[in-house]
Amino acid sequence: MAELQEVQIMEEKPLLPGQTPEAAKTHSVETPYGSVTFTVYGTPKPKRPAILTYHDVGLNYKSCFQPLFQFGDMQEIIQNFVRVHVDAPGMQEGAPVFPLGYQYPSLDQLADMIPCILQYLNFSTIIGFGVGAGAYILSRYALNHPDTVEGLVLINIDPNAKGWMDWAAHKLTGLTSSLSEMILGHLFSQEELSGNSEFIQKYRNIISHAPNLENIELYWNSYNNRRDLNIERGSDNTLKCPVMLVVGDQAPHEEAVVECNSKLDPTQTSFLKMADSGGQPQLTQPGKLTEAFKYFLQGMGYMASSCMTRLSRSRTASLTSAASIDGNRSRSRTMSQSSESGTLPSGTPGHTMEVSC
């Protein structure tokens, strides 16, 4: 009898006819830690922050964010914002391999490159959107420059330095696994990897055949050598802006994100645990993430409900009516998405909210 295999259903809703991706322009700037490349989509909108993305290890801005930012429903959001997609040094398409002995920047230094980008573009504030190492970098940037960060979407953030147990496990894995398998284990859940779907095969292929694999190893090492962000609820060292934490319910970083949520200000933080999304929700569930991002922006006062689709408008009402009690741009709830049913129950400020899609 044929074996039944679990198949991951991916949301796909590409651009509609007539919807064309906006023109992109790639720039490089020199910083005290070397050159950094970034790609700008759209034009600056008066009185609006730029959306600035930072990708995870093993990826670049396209392989990390294209499926989300080119998702059909995302267009009505991003047309209101200019986007700056940063490629970590040596990760941009066609990047030459760094010479042997090259000192790759630490994650803290990568965060310190961001002011050079913003100065070059003459942008004063951002909404950061980061995954994994990118989420850490944007958080570090926000801790150092709180006045320039209006909001943060952090997927799979691990704010802690590796402890000695993690190091021991990492060293052991390194003895038996290749670099690309270790990075895949960081990006995807074990279930996804053993399922070896076409999607996983695509990313396995991208990483294992990357012409800049040596550069990727340097970014990987910087990630593994990260310092503790030392975020403490109620201390000076905490994120001051609205934060949307996102993690897949089977993702390798689930525990770390849960712990991070416990350290952030609950009145400023939404926590979205996504069902059926594996390790990279922005790749596997762009529709759900787009909708959550819309709510997040709306909570910050940026997406008037008149800009939203009829479906989103009616579903969002239950969320925003609760959010508006405590004022305009500050949110005071934790939002957690988990089940498979099709309704959005309403919530009250300061309480955990289950959002089901």
What residue ranges bind ligand BEZ (CB under 6 A)?
A: 21-22, 41, 62, 65-66, 69-70, 78, 83, 85
In this complex, which beta carbon is closest to ligand BEZ, that of residue 248 or of residue 286?
286
In this complex, which beta carbon is closest to ligand BEZ, that of residue 65 or of residue 141?
65
Smallest separation (angstroms) from ligand BEZ to the CB of 269: 25
In this complex, which beta carbon is closest to ligand BEZ, that of residue 66 or of residue 267?
66
In this complex, which beta carbon is closest to ligand BEZ, that of residue 16 or of residue 325?
16
CB 135 within 8 A of CB 54: yes
HEC string for the chain: CCCCCCCCCCCCCCCCCCCCCCCEEEEEEEECCEEEEEEEECCCCCCCCEEEEECCCCCCHHHHHHHHHCCHHHHHHHCCCCEEEEECCCCCCCCCCCCCCCCCCCHHHHHHHHHHHHHHHCCCCEEEEEECHHHHHHHHHHHHCHHHEEEEEEECCCCCCCCHHHHHHHHHHHHHCCHHHHHHHHHCCHHHHHHCCHHHHHHHHHHHCCCCHHHHHHHHHHHHCCCCCCCCCCCCCCCCCCEEEEEECCCCCHHHHHHHHHHCCCCCEEEEEECCCCCCHHHHCHHHHHHHHHHHHHHCCCCCHHHCCHHHHHHHHHHHHHHHHHCCCCCCCEEEECCCCCCCCCCCCCCEEEECC
Smallest separation (angstroms) from ligand BEZ to the CB of 82: 9
Smallest separation (angstroms) from ligand BEZ to the CB of 56: 14
Smallest separation (angstroms) from ligand BEZ to the CB of 120: 18
Smallest separation (angstroms) from ligand BEZ to the CB of 22: 6
In this complex, which beta carbon is closest to ligand BEZ, that of residue 83 or of residue 263?
83
Smallest separation (angstroms) from ligand BEZ to the CB of 131: 13
Smallest separation (angstroms) from ligand BEZ to the CB of 71: 10
CB-closest chain residue to ligand BEZ: 69
In this complex, which beta carbon is closest to ligand BEZ, that of residue 26 or of residue 324?
26
In this complex, which beta carbon is closest to ligand BEZ, that of residue 74 or of residue 239?
74
